[in-house]
Chains A and B, each alone.
Chain A
Amino acid sequence: MDGVLHQVFSGIASGGIYASIALALVMIFTATHHVNFAQGEMAMFSTYIALTLIQAGVPYWIAFFATVIFAMVVGVIVQKVLMEPLMNAPVLASVGVFIGLLFIFNSTAGWIFTYTLKPFPSPFGEGGPLFGGFFSRHELGSTAITLVVLLSVWAFFRFTRLGLAMRAAAYNPTSSRLSGVPVATMLALGWGLASGIGAIAGMMVAPIVFLDPNMMAGVLLYAFAGALLGGITNPLGAVVGGFIVGVIENLGGAYVVGTELKLSMALIIIVVVLTLKPAGLFGKVLSSRV
């Protein structure tokens, strides 16, 4: 029984990370109807920046916030320089750009920081497990950080004028523009925010999986599965979905299929969700008007 509980708790911890990436994906998806394939690579690259800062002697939390700001700037730049000129191009062209970005970030990271696995420090210390051994310090800390991030993102969208403007720009660009919302700026901000969230997720996952340029491939897939499970149109759903996928992944990996087939679990989750409940747990059922 203890074993099961332990798996559930570490599932919640990794689920939090999937939830963050899933949230970043859903944010960009609702705003632009694009799935950013480079999301994971951008997060990975930011994590390397954090590591470089920490190794240069910058205290962890200063490096943390500097990295988040760096990631947001990169996100805004990518949107302004690459995505905006392609606004009216075919969707496939933007997918091509996403894939190009994926290659660029991955290869540049490998070039600058090498492909060797690197340990990444956890801000929560290496101390012994808490709560009777169910939670490691890092798992507890990263789950807390994830929850703080998710709550502040929710509060930002719910209670601030800027958040409202961003939602409006995503929901109905034309009307928003007519009401004086600078839609292009809102889109760029959305990209920045998503990229910043991704960076936080990267810094939280790196102490667990070690840092290397291909670190995010699996995470991105689980995040996809989480976003789909929760409903890709619903940010809260994506978060809950991310947590559920984390728990399922850990339990399944430990008791059902073994670690070799862990990634295939994501495929199974996706297929099952699509077959049984296509809109996800919390998603809106989209109907098209005839």
Chain B
Amino acid sequence: MPRIAIILGCIALAVLPLLGASGYQLFQLTLVVTYAVAILGLNLVTGYNGQVSLGHGAFYAVGAYTTAILMDKFAVPYWATLPVAAVICAVFGFLIGLPALRLGGLYLALTTFALSVAVPQLLKYKLFDDYTGGVQGIVIDKPDAPFGLALNSDQWVYLFTLAVGIVCFVLIANLVKGRIGRAMIAIRDQPLAAEAMGIDIAMLKTYTFAVSAMITGIAGSLGAVAVQFVAPDAFGAPLSLTFFVGFVVGGGASIVGPIFGAIFVEFIPNIADQISKAAPGAVYGVLLIALMFVAPGGCASIVRKLAARMPWNRKTT
């Protein structure tokens, strides 16, 4: 796609919702962007590097709690908490990845799944109560628009989140296009050949995991600012599953995939709720399975097929 179209698209994403969307709709859009960034992080490690992680909710939680604690206890402004959360999550991801990534994908899946289940318990643990607020969690203030901009805080949070999100997407898109990205894909497809080419598999996998954790941690920070509240039970295994569902729906190894995945996990539960108040989860599950049958490669594979038919991509033979 021409670069100019992407830039115009980003501007449209920034401006259009400000004109028409209500506060709640803006909040939903903010969450879509947040989820898209979180799923982007997961996509980097699972889609491009082939390492299945079922515990990215843990990194999201760490990011969210870092922001909440810094804002609540140390009166740090919200924007300044993002880099801190990013660094902490990267280190955390590195430490988790170090033992698990040296082994096959399934072991990482199990370790990260256990991590995601353990997170709410660890957050509730009494020793950290002073910081984490225990079961009650932490309430944080909504940031107002700076520089006297004529925006209400919903609009400002949306713009801020979108800006950070676009930066993350551009960074990752460039990362996977470059040498390191090719090495990641090589590890996923042909680990032996990659090793023979001189790629340090274990190290690159661990770094990829760290970067992925960092991106998802940033999403967690953004999420905390948007929701203005963090509590342990919001960050259990269901959150990690949500990210994974978003990732699978969006499609692996794709930059646009996470956006579709985020839209799915944000809006489909509401639709499922409207279809059946009694068992929304069942409707959600059926929709998910149906999508897997229609598009086993996720939405990104459909987009790829459509794009290949577009006039500017059609090969002249």
Interface of A toward B, CB cutoff 8 Å = 29, 35, 82, 85-86, 89-90, 92-97, 99-104, 106-108, 110-111, 217-218, 221, 224-225, 228, 232, 260-264, 266-267, 270-271, 274-275, 278, 286, 288, 290
Chain A contacts for B249, CB-based, 8 A: 96
Contact in complex: B245, A107 (CB < 8 Å):
no
User: Which of the residues A221, A261, A275 comes within 8 Å of B113, measured between beta carbons?
Assistant: A221
Q: Which residue of B lies closest to A103 (CB)?
A: B285
User: Which of the residues A93, A110, A232, A270 comes within 8 Å of B111, measured between beta carbons?
Assistant: A270
Q: Is B271 an interface residue (CB 8 A)?
A: no
Q: Complex formed: what's the CA distance from A164 to B174 in Å?
A: 52
Chain B contacts for A290, CB-based, 8 A: 192
**At the interface, is chain B mostly helix, strand, loop or mixed?**
helix
Take A100-B289, A263-B117, A288-B192 as given contacts and tell me if A111 and B282 are in contact as well, using a CB distance cutoff of 8 Å.
yes
Q: Which residue of A lies closest to B279 (CB)?
A: A111
Q: Which residue of A lies closest to B47 (CB)?
A: A92
Contact in complex: A82, B237 (CB < 8 Å):
no
Which 6 A-B pairs have CB atoms at the shortest separation, nearest pair first?
Answer: A107-B281, A103-B285, A104-B285, A89-B296, A111-B279, A93-B296
Contact in complex: A103, B113 (CB < 8 Å):
no
Chain B contacts for A86, CB-based, 8 A: 292-293, 296
User: Which of the residues A107, A217, A263 comes within 8 Å of B280, measured between beta carbons?
Assistant: A107
Interface of B toward A, CB cutoff 8 Å = 46, 52, 99-100, 102-104, 106-107, 109-111, 113-115, 117-118, 121-122, 124-126, 192, 237, 241, 244-245, 247-249, 252, 278-286, 288-289, 291-293, 296-298
Chain A contacts for B99, CB-based, 8 A: 271, 274-275
Q: Which residue of A lies closest to B52 (CB)?
A: A95
Contact in complex: A263, B121 (CB < 8 Å):
yes
Contact in complex: B252, A107 (CB < 8 Å):
no
Q: How many Cβ-Cβ contacts under 8 Å join chain A to chain B?
A: 133
Contact in complex: A266, B114 (CB < 8 Å):
yes
Contact in complex: B121, A225 (CB < 8 Å):
no
Contact in complex: A107, B279 (CB < 8 Å):
yes
Q: Complex formed: what's the CA distance from A221 to B110 in Å?
A: 9
Taking the nearest CB of chain A, how far is it from the CB of B91, in angstroms?
16
Interface centre among A90, A100, A102, A278, by most chain B C-beta atoms within 10 angstroms, is A100
User: Which of the residues A107, A110, A260, A271 comes within 8 Å of B124, measured between beta carbons?
Assistant: A260
Contact in complex: A271, B244 (CB < 8 Å):
no
User: Which of the residues A89, A94, A100 comes within 8 Å of B285, measured between beta carbons?
Assistant: A100
Contact in complex: A90, B297 (CB < 8 Å):
yes
Q: Which residue of A lies closest to B244 (CB)?
A: A99
Interface centre among A103, A108, A217, A271, by most chain B C-beta atoms within 10 angstroms, is A103
Contact in complex: B248, A92 (CB < 8 Å):
yes
Contact in complex: A104, B121 (CB < 8 Å):
no
Chain B contacts for A110, CB-based, 8 A: 279, 281
Taking the nearest CB of chain A, how far is it from the CB of B302, in angstroms?
13
Q: Complex formed: what's the CA distance from A184 to B249 in Å?
A: 27
Taking the nearest CB of chain B, how far is it from the CB of A170, in angstroms?
16
